[in-house]
Amino acid sequence: MAFTKAAVMMDDARTKADDKEALSQALRFNHLLWTIIQADITEPSNSLPPELKANIMSLSLFVDKQTTAVLRSRNAEEVEILITINRNLAAGLRSNPGDPVEGS
C-alpha cells in the first residue's frame, strides 16, 4: 500500500505542476519509503536471497538519484519513472506467485 500511496502522491503532484510543495511532499514521502527499504535489506536478520537484496539496493539507489534530480529541477514531469517503479512494485506485491503474468 505504501508504494501505491507514494505513486498516487507523485501523480497528483505531477498534475498540479505549479504546486511545488505537493511535489516536494510526495518526493519526501517516496524517499522515506525507499530509505526504510534500504535499511531493512541491510539488516543481518533479513532473510531475502543476496541476489534479490542486491537488485533491490540497485533499484533503491536509482530511485535516490532520480528523486534528487527531480528535487533539483522541480520539474513534476520527471517523476514518471518513479511513479512507474512504485506502481509495478505494488502490483507485484499484490499478486500471488501462482497467478498468470499479465500480457503473457
pLDDT digits (tens, 9 = 90+) for 13-34: 999 878 889 999 999 999 999 9
Q: Would the pLDDT of 86 be above 70?
A: yes
Say if residue 104's pLDDT is above 50: no
| pTM of the model as a whole | 0.84
DSSP the chain: -HHHHHHHHHHHHHH-TT-HHHHHHHHHHHHHHHHHHHHHHTSTT--S-HHHHHHHHHHHHHHHHHHHHHHHH--GGGGHHHHHHHHHHHHHHHS-TTSPPTT-
